[in-house]
């Protein structure tokens, strides 16, 4: 069923892809002054001539600040993602994971700091150059963001029609195999996004993001809204995609299974509003197996899904605001 995929030749990306076969394995955990675990990437295999090139981080986030109006979302984020790594990005709802992902692909403009992709800053690029760089990305949106005027087949084939000179038959072939990989039958091809369930939309979005064999995949909650079995199918797909060629991935997830299964490295963001001015926003950065027995309460509570004192905090907040609204009503 899962037949071998045809490689899509977009000349910009195939070159770099074939260069590096060096494998990156995980990170070793160490602790520095503040109780955040800091990752150091170690390349363990094949010290070939090309490994130096491969070791250069594909994505470098340098002192990134993002602010919407008065609301500060990201503060001084530093993050290097080497080629071939799969990074699981976790953190509670609203802490800025999506914003970080969007700033990496240049959809959100940083207030300060920069994001380098393959050594260049996307925010200083011309429209045309940016277009060329973006072909190297695959982005799965949290809400799938399918084009609602097109049917599923047109959605998945969109990047292929834009950037390759394939015949309609070849494109149809690729679309079918991509849909099969995410567990969707041929019958969905002619459906409009509005006629699909939420989980199906997500998977169509995933098929579309993978259509051009990107060098770097950014997944925004790939398994949210899927049943447990389909979640595991998608986890497998992420792992397989990564194994097939040296694809770099960043996976935003709330699902600890996904984080453990696909990630070489886990990074946890913490919402700025609950941090003091000098605390780093990245409170965990290590291999995912370390997540469970991390000494930081904030991390272990998140991983084990315990509300702990948050419940009390929220109840207090609700009571105070309830009091306020009751008073203003009088």
Partner 1 sequence: MSTGSENAFANRHERLAGFPIAVGSWAIDFWDMLITWITALGDIVVFGGRTMSWLVSRLPQRETILPNFYQIGVLSLPVVALTGTFIGMVLAVQSYSQFRVVNLETRLGAIINMSLVRELGPVLAATMLAGRVGSAMAAELGTMRVTEQIDALSSMGANPIQYLVVPRFLGCLVLIPTLTIMADFMGVVGGWFYSVYRLGIDNHHYWENSQKFVGAFDLFGGVFKSLFFGAAIALISCHRGFHCDPGAEGVGRAAYSAFVNSFVVILMLDLTLGIALDSLYLYLWPQGASFI
Ligand X SMILES: Nc1ncnc2c1ncn2[C@@H]1O[C@H](COP(=O)(O)OP(=O)(O)OP(=O)(O)O)[C@@H](O)[C@H]1O
Minimum distance of partner 1 from residue 211's CB (angstroms): 9
Contacts (Cβ under 8 Å, ≥6 apart) of 26: 42, 264, 265, 287
Which C-beta is closer to ligand X: that of 45 or that of 76? 76
Residue 276 binds to ligand X (criterion: CB under 6 A): no
The CA distance from 108 to 101, in Å, is: 9
Least separation in angstroms between residue 211's CB and ligand X is 24
Among 11, 93, 167, 187, binds ligand X (CB under 6 A): 93
Concatenate the DSSP letters of all residues of 88-133 into one string: EEE--TTSSHHHHHHHHTTSS--SEEEEEETTEEGGG--HHHHHHH
Report what 81 binds from ligand X, partner 1, Mg ion, none; CB cut-off 5-8 Å by kind: none
Pairwise CA distance, residues 223 & 218, whole Å: 13
Using the rule CB under 6 A, is 73 a contact of ligand X? yes
As measured in angstroms, the least distance from the Cβ of 210 to ligand X is 21
Q: Write out the two tokens for 134.
A: 């973006």
72 membership: H or E segment, kind and range: strand 71-82
Q: Restricting to residues 129-188, which ones interact with ligand X according to CB under 6 A? A: 142
Nearest approach, Cβ of residue 102 and ligand X (Å): 8
Q: Which does 158 bind (CB under 5 to 8 A by kind): partner 1, Mg ion, ligand X, none?
A: partner 1
Query: Which pairing describes strands 216-220 and 57-68: parallel, antiparallel, or unpaired?
Result: unpaired
Query: What count of Cα atoms within 13 Å lies in the side-chain half-sphere of residue 179?
Result: 22
The runs of H, that is alpha helices, within the chain are 11-19, 51-55, 97-104, 127-134, 152-163, 168-181, 198-210, 228-244, 256-262, 297-304, 309-329
Query: Cβ 35 to partner 1, closest distance in Å?
Result: 36
Q: Return the range that interacts with ligand X (CB under 6 A); candidates 95-103, 161-169, 199-207, 278-286.
A: 95-103
Q: Would strands 57-68 and 37-43 be described as parallel, antiparallel, or unpaired?
A: unpaired
Rounded to the nearest whole angstrom, what is the least distance from the CB of residue 117 to ligand X in the complex? 19
Least spacing, CB of residue 224 vs ligand X, in Å: 9
By beta-carbon proximity to ligand X, the closer residue of 14 and 142 is 142
- Rounded Cα distance, 87 and 287, in Å: 9
Site of interaction with Mg ion (CB under 5 A) = 98, 142
Residue 34 touches which of Mg ion, ligand X, partner 1, none (CB < 5 to 8 A by kind)? none
- Which residue, 124 or 274, has its beta carbon nearer to partner 1? 124
Q: Between 91 and 159, whose beta carbon lies closer to ligand X?
A: 91
Task: List interacting residues with partner 1 (CB under 8 A).
Answer: 102, 105-107, 127-128, 131-135, 137, 139, 141, 143, 145-148, 158-159, 162-163, 208, 212, 327, 330
The size of the interface with ligand X (CB under 6 A), counted in residues, is: 11
The pairing of beta strand 248-252 with beta strand 216-220: parallel
CA–CA dist 84, 21 (Å, integer): 9
Binding site for ligand X (CB under 6 A): 68, 73, 91, 93-99, 142
């Amino acid at each position: 069923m899962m037949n071998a995929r045809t490689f899509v030749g977009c000349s910009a990306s195939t070159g770099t892809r074939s260069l590096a076969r060096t494998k990156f394995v995980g990170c070793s955990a160490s602790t520095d002054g503040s109780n955040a675990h800091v990752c150091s990437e170690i390349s363990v295999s094949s010290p070939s001539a090309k490994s130096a090139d491969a070791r250069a981080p594909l994505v470098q986030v340098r002192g990134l600040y993002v602010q919407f109006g008065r609301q500060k979302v990201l503060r001084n984020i530093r993050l290097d993602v080497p080629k071939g790594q799969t990074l699981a990005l976790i953190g509670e709802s609203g802490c800025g994971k999506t914003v970080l992902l969007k700033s990496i692909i240049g959809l959100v403009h940083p207030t300060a700091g920069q994001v380098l992709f393959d050594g260049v800053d996307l925010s200083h690029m011309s429209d045309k150059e940016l277009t060329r760089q973006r072909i190297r990305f695959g982005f799965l949106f949290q809400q799938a963001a399918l084009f609602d005027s097109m049917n599923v087949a047109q959605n998945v084939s969109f990047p292929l029609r834009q950037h390759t000179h394939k015949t309609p038959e070849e494109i149809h072939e690729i679309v079918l195999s991509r849909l099969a990989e995410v567990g969707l039958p041929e019958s969905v091809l002619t459906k409009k996004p509005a006629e699909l369930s939420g989980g199906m939309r997500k998977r169509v979005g995933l098929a579309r993001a993978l259509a051009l064999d990107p060098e770097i995949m950014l997944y925004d909650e790939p398994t949210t809204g899927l049943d447990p079995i389909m979640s595991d199918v998608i986890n497998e797909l992420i792992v397989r995609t990564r194994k097939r060629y040296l694809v770099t991935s960043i996976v935003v997830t709330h699902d600890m299974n996904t984080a453990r299964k696909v990630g070489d490295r886990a990074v946890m963001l913490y919402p700025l509003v609950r941090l003091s001015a000098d605390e780093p926003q990245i409170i965990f950065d290590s291999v995912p197996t370390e997540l469970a027995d991390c000494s930081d309460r904030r991390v272990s509570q998140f991983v084990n899904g315990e509300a702990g004192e948050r419940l009390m905090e929220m109840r207090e907040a609700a009571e105070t605001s309830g009091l306020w609204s009751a008073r203003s009503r009088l």
